[in-house]
Amino acid sequence: KVLDASTLSFGTRVKWFAICFVAGIVCSILGTALLWLPKGIKLFAVFYTLGNIAALASTCFLMGPLKQLKAMFEPKRLVATVVMLVNIL
- Residues 11-65: tens digit of each pLDDT: 888 999 999 999 999 999 999 999 888 888 999 999 999 999 999 889 888 888 8
Note whether residue 25 is domain-resident. yes
- pTM for the model stands at 0.77
Note whether residue 71 is domain-resident. no
* pLDDT score of 3: 47
Q: Is 64 left (phi over 0), alpha (psi -120 to 50) or beta?
A: left
Q: How far apart are CA 61 and CA 58, in angstroms?
A: 6
* pLDDT score of 5: 52
* pLDDT score of 41: 92
Note whether residue 18 is domain-resident. yes
Q: How far apart are CA 54 and CA 1, in angstroms?
A: 23
Q: How far apart are CA 32 and CA 12, in angstroms?
A: 30
Structural domain count, the chain: 1
Note whether residue 15 is domain-resident. yes
Structural domain including 55 reads: 6-64
Q: Which helix (H) or strand (E) holds 67?
A: helix 65-72
Note whether residue 34 is domain-resident. yes
Note whether residue 85 is domain-resident. no
